[in-house]
Amino acid sequence: MKFIKPLLITGAAMLIAVPAAAQTLRLATVVNAPHPWIDAAELFKAELEANTGLTVEIFPGGQLGDDATVVDEMRIGTVDVIIGGVGNIAPFVRSFEFFALNYLFENMDEFEAVTDPESEIFGYYADQVAGADVGLHLLALTGGGTRNLSSAAGPVSEPGDLEGVRMRTTGAQLDQRMWQAMGAVTSSLPWTELYTGVQTGVVQAFESTISGYYGSRLYEVAPYHARTEHQIMMSHISISTLTWDRLNEEEKAAVTDAARLAGLHGTEMGVKYDTELLERFAEQGITVTEVDTSAFAARVADLHDQIAEDLGVSHLLQTVRELR
């Protein structure tokens, strides 16, 4: 019997010495490289894996489903992190439609001030997401580049060129109103179905970031690109609250820090791609049209105050205006 006790002690010691398996976070985004969301995802992964025992697996190109599917999966904890446009959580937090206002920001400085995690606007949306019981925890706001208009129907140089054109928009009602004001006939379609939608004539035009247009090879079906520059893409990095609640305090701090760095990087890369990718358009046979943006802005100017009031965010509109 004397040999039993030492063996038990040794077994216990061996059991204690076995490290816990590292938790892997599944990160979803609907785009393909080159795109600032991919760059943000890669930086988030690198930072987190360098500073914690967590690992990150990135699923680009809608591998885990379109935005609506991913958000639903996050609410049950089968997807952990998303990087995407804020329109994908607008169905749960309607005030995010505020960022669908065309010509809301006059320059990148205003955008960066708003997305700063210490800003009033970031704090407002972090509270809105938490209070809406969406199943998400907002980590960072980030960019994605400047949004322009692309078409399969022909070049667009003024709002009248969109009269009667079937145009893909996000599911946000405000987004649809913006383009209906230009005369377009809007239709909601998931990003992952857009290429086929244009190819088959379901829609004739759409708006997107330059990197989204190029990375998803949408120029193959819509070779006319108008530099409307109507939005600086507002995007978010969010984590499932089920995942968040499983993390210890040290891990939460590291996830937050990594997301904020990734957010800054995503914004920077959006600016970089806007310049670099435009230079490649000619070799792809893309027709680029310079437009008078003031004509497009004039069509929606009266909607800004009205929509901000409808959304209950007039104070946020005033905050943006005070940045000028």
- Region 168-186: mean pLDDT is 90
Q: What angle do CA 112, 158, 165 make, to 5 degrees?
A: 100
Predicted pLDDT of residue 22: 64
| 324: helix, strand or coil | coil
Residue 154 CA, distance from chain mean position: 28
Convert the pLDDT of each residue in 259-300 to its tens digit.
999 999 999 999 999 999 999 999 999 999 999 999 999 999
Strands laid side by side in the 136-142 sheet: 55-59, 24-28, 81-85, 235-240, 136-142
Tell me the three state secondary structure of residue 142.
strand
146-232+284-321, CATH topology level? D-Maltodextrin-Binding Protein; domain 2 (3.40.190)
For the record, the structure tokens of 180 come out as 């209906």
Average pLDDT, the chain: 91
Question: In this predicted structure, which of 77-91, 151-165, 170-184, 212-226 has the lowest mean pLDDT?
Answer: 170-184
Domain spans of the chain, in order of start:
22-145+233-276, 146-232+284-321
What is the pLDDT, as a whole number, of residue 109? 96
Phi, psi (deg, nearest 5) at residue 4: -70, -45
**What's the pLDDT at 175?**
85
Longest dimension (CA), the chain: 94
List 226's β-bridge partners, or say none.
149, 289
> Percent of the chain at pLDDT above 90?
86
What's the pLDDT band for 172 if we cut at 50, 70, 90?
confident
| pLDDT top residue among 307 and 18 | 307
Point out which residues pair with 147 in neighbouring strands: 209, 231
116 has a pLDDT exceeding 60:
yes
Q: What's this model's pTM, rounded to 2 decimal places?
A: 0.86
Same fold, 22-145+233-276 and 146-232+284-321: yes
What are the DSSP calls for 265-297, one per residue? Answer: HHHHHHHHHHHHHHTTTGGGTPEEEE--HHHHH
H-helix segments, the chain = 4-17, 36-51, 67-76, 108-115, 120-131, 173-180, 194-199, 210-215, 241-246, 249-278, 293-311, 314-321
Crossing angle for the helix pair 293-311 and 314-321, nearest 10 degrees? 140
Residue 212 in this model has a pLDDT that exceeds 60? yes
Answer yes or no: is pLDDT of 12 > 50.
no
Q: Which amino acid is at 237?
A: I
Neighbour order of strands in the sheet with 146-151 = 185-188, 166-169, 205-209, 146-151, 224-232, 287-290
Mean pLDDT of the region 234-256: 97
Mean per-residue pLDDT, 154-173: 92
pLDDT tier for residue 173 given thresholds of 50, 70 and 90: confident
State percent of the chain over pLDDT 70.
Answer: 93
User: Averaged over 122-137, what is the pLDDT?
Assistant: 96
**Could you give the angle at the alpha carbon of 263 between the alpha carbons of 258 and 264, nearest 5°?**
105
Q: Comparing 7 with 161, which gets the higher pLDDT?
A: 161
Residue 52: pLDDT above 60? yes
Q: What is the pLDDT, as a whole number, of residue 13?
A: 38
Backbone dihedral angles phi then psi of residue 312, each to the nearest 5 degrees: 75, 25
Q: Is 151 helix (H, G, I), strand (E, B) or coil?
A: strand
Q: Is the pLDDT of residue 62 over 50?
A: yes
Contact 40, 263 (CB under 8 A): yes
The answer to whether residue 31 scores a pLDDT higher than 70 is: yes
CB atoms within 10 A of CB 1: 4
Instruction: Give the C-alpha separation, 123 to 315, whole Å.
Output: 13
Q: What is the tens place of the pLDDT at every residue in 18-29?
A: 334 469 999 999
Does domain 22-145+233-276 fall under CATH 3.40.190.170? My reply is yes
Q: Model confidence at 9, in pLDDT bands (50, 70, 90)?
A: very low
177: left (phi over 0), alpha (psi -120 to 50) or beta: alpha
Residue 184 has pLDDT above 80, yes or no: yes
Please tell me the distance from the alpha carbon of residue 178 to that of residue 228, in angstroms, as a whole number. Answer: 13
Query: Quick one: how many helices (H) and strands (E) in the chain?
Result: 12, 11
